[in-house]
Structure 1
Amino acid sequence: MSPGGEHLKDEGTRRQVILAGGIAGLVSRFCVAPLDVVKIRLQLQIHSLSDPSSHRDVVGPVYKGTVATMRAIIKEEGITGLWKGNIPAELMYVCYGGIQFTTYRTTTQALSHLPHRLPLPVESFIAGATGGGLATAITYPLDLLRTRFAAQGPDRVYTSLMASVREIARNEGAPGFFRGCTAAVGQIVPYMGLFFSTYESLRPSLAGLQDLPFGSGDAVAGMIASVFAKTGVFPLDLVRKRLQVQGPTRARYVHRNIPEYVGVFSTLASILRTQGPRGLYRGLTVSLFKAAPASAVTMWTYEKALRLLQEMEVAAGEN
């Protein structure tokens, strides 16, 4: 943080922010891809882990816990199974990071020109929600492709990224690329708002601390903010995943008994009715385990990349 009291959103040019955001998304995604695949598999699993009788007619694997799920995927699909869907996910995270941080910076700069400056947490909430919502909507087709590839077991549903795009376009039309988008935006707006407001509130007090994970208080602030925000909106994340695998290929994924869902609220009601409140939190543990390091890596990489880009520009100007 600069001596003038500038925050993350005020630092760097637009080009630097776009590049730093894209780099942060790329690095973060690759690091947490295996946990993301595990999370998706657990979110799509509808049978109860505590009731063996619910496993009798299940076609497909029964996953129990993060480590056991990783082992099962490696055993059945090889180590590369933990990176299924990584190509569309990397594309999504690069685009998402650039759009998110640029919108965040632009929105907060616009808010700074209001006659009466808003409190920092409120300002950060608005900017974070705006950036997250816009980035989610624009990159959503890549998110859907990521989920469908991660949901594939040993029997492949789609042979390649381009093949999946052609098949969805042919069989489901343009709306097929946006299944569950309402739940995604409904989730990301409060999530990013809570994340950035918490992050910006914690960052000043942690900025001077060293000898922390990843070497700075930025990472710790990102981890705390992510855990807090993720827990609050997790049911909508689960609903999004269930809706993303609807359509003509629904019964061909690793979990063959995924029910047919239509709409966010009817999906929530159906899960509550058939699986109880716990059904809305399948995969929460691995989600939190993934979200904390992912956000820490994202914010740490963003800050480091931004500073490096600034230093490179200064050095170029001096030559």
Structure 2
Amino acid sequence: MSGKGERLKDEGSRLQVTAAGATAGLISRFVIAPLDVVKIRLQLQTHSLSDPLSHRDLGGGPIYKGTLPTLRHILHHEGLTGLWKGNVPAEMLYICYSAAQFTTYRSMTLLIHQTIGEGRMPQSAESFVAGATGGGVATVATYPLDLLRTRFAAQGNDKVYTSLPRAIAQIGRDEGLRGFYRGLGSGLAQIVPYMGMFFAVYETLRPPLAQLDLPLSSGGAVAGVFASVIAKTGTFPLDLVRKRIQVQGPTRGRYIHRNIPEYSDTVGTVRAILRNEGFRGLYRGLTVSLFKAAPASAVTMWTYERALKFFIGLSEKEE
């Protein structure tokens, strides 16, 4: 591979990187949408098969028993479209998030090179700083879409919100601007180490994997899978906490799980989950999250690299 293509973050112009990131996010989101809905449903469930359900007020909500049974339950009770609930704000989220993430990652890397010099910082440290910065900026910029995605995925047949514009208007009216940013603290606390770990592992594994004769020739997809699984497992409890806080507010008792407890902040939510559900409660939905993370990261990185090459090639032809 030539020097121009050796490092993902140095390829292409800012516009080309943004376009490639948006394309990768769009395709990746559609592929993993059903698993995302299942993950959110499991994360919001405060009971499991081992719980003595007799003392719990489930409010008529379902009892999900794992990834495949949850998929079947949603298909049976909500139809095929139930597996893509929240897909519109989620598509917008993934497009904007991926574009902001890759653009900031590239810009931060170039800033590091200009400030202290290229190669002066260890590759893993440079990738961690650039990845964490990219994830943090993208999270803040797109957080309202993340909250909307969660709320749509959490609602059953008795819809809390009938459309995206009405959801925005209703949240703005009843909860104000702060309502769109419920759980942002836990989101940032999760995404900064997540993206830092992801890009550090990704950049470490991609070069040696690129030398192997893999089905996906660049090795980027395989590296993305390993990076995502490691980063996701390490930061999953904060992702669960964020989901629990995102559905707080005046509509808390109207989602598919009608017994969602009242939470206020990140630390208080962690304490409440540990007290009422135990340590395992912080990892509800981890299995499907890892199933989701692997294909999502593989599709994202694979699509990103090829989209970027396409845009670069298109630009060269025009020139």
Bin of the TM-score, shorter chain as denominator length: over 0.9
Residue matched to 1:262: 264
Distance in 2, matches of 1:196 and 1:18, equals: 17
Residue matched to 2:296: 294
Name the SS of the counterpart of 1:112 in structure 2.
Answer: helix
Q: Is the 8 A contact 1:47 1:55 kept in 2?
A: no
| TM-superposition CA deviations, 1:53-77 (whole Å, max 9, x none) | 3586322100011000000000000
Matched, 1:184 2:192: no
- Cα distance, 1:295 vs structure 2: 0.6
> Which stretch has the larger CA shift, 123-132 or 215-224?
215-224
- Opposite residue 309 of structure 1, the aligned amino acid is F
| TM-superposition CA deviations, 1:174-211 (whole Å, max 9, x none) | 00000001101110000000000000000000113344
| TM-superposition CA deviations, 1:220-262 (whole Å, max 9, x none) | 0000000000000000000000000000000000000000000
- Opposite residue 30 of structure 2, the aligned amino acid is F
Matched, 1:172 2:175: yes
Structure 1 counterpart of 2:287, from 282, 285, 288: 285
Q: Is the 8 A contact 1:243 1:261 kept in 2?
A: yes
Residue matched to 2:23: 23
- Cα distance, 1:2 vs structure 2: 2.9
Distance in 2, matches of 1:107 and 1:156, equals: 42
Q: Is the 8 A contact 1:129 1:189 kept in 2?
A: yes
- 1:217-256 mapped onto 2 (5 Å cutoff): 217-256=219-258
Q: Is the 8 A contact 1:47 1:54 kept in 2?
A: no
Distance in 2, matches of 1:2 and 1:105, equals: 19
TM-score of the two chains, using structure 1 as the length reference: 0.96
Q: Percent identity?
A: 65
RMSD: 1.3
Distance in 2, matches of 1:115 and 1:17, equals: 23
Matched, 1:207 2:207: no
Distance in 1, matches of 2:23 and 2:4, equals: 27
Structure 1 ranges of 4+ moved more than 6 A? none
- Opposite residue 100 of structure 2, the aligned amino acid is I
TM-score of the two chains, using structure 2 as the length reference: 0.96
| TM-superposition CA deviations, 1:119-155 (whole Å, max 9, x none) | 0000000000000000001100000000000000111
**Ranges in structure 2 where 5+ consecutive residues have no aligned partner:** none
- 1:14-163 mapped onto 2 (5 Å cutoff): 14-53=14-53, 57-59=57-59, 60-115=61-116, 117-163=120-166
